[in-house]
Amino acid sequence: MMRRILVDAARARGSNKRGGGAVKVNVDEAPIISPEPAASLVALDDALKAFSTVAPRQAKLVELRYFGGLSEEEIVGVLKISPRTVRRDWEFAKSWLMRELSR
């Protein structure tokens, strides 16, 4: 769910409807806002969709870790796999996604 929320927000910021090109800045959040994360978040979502067709468990792990903020131990409990499998899947997912995003 968090993945959908973040990706939808990133896409909405990039839209041309209703002044989509204008940057809305809250004074409290001004130092952390950048136009770059929105584009990279959409690219990550697209790559993650492609990855989920190749390796669904590893794609779920990326969702839980990146979008959900879960730790390695929490992912072990959620996916019911060993800690070593989580580490191995995370390394595989990172390398696959980096290759896909660098194209």
Report the predicted TM-score, pTM, of the whole model to 2 decimal places. Answer: 0.65
Rounded to the nearest 10 degrees, what angle do helices 2-14 and 36-54 cross at? 130
**What tokens appear for 31 in the block?**
């130092």
**What tokens appear for 45 in the block?**
């979502």
Fold topology of 2-101: Arc Repressor Mutant, subunit A (1.10.10)
Which residue's structure tokens are 């996916």?
79
pLDDT of the residue at 94: 92
Rounded to the nearest 10 degrees, what angle do helices 83-101 and 36-54 cross at? 120
Per-domain boundaries in the chain: 2-101
* CA-based end-to-end distance of the chain: 27
Q: What is the pLDDT of residues 6-59, one digit of tens each?
A: 888 877 776 655 555 555 544 444 444 455 566 778 888 899 999 999 999 999
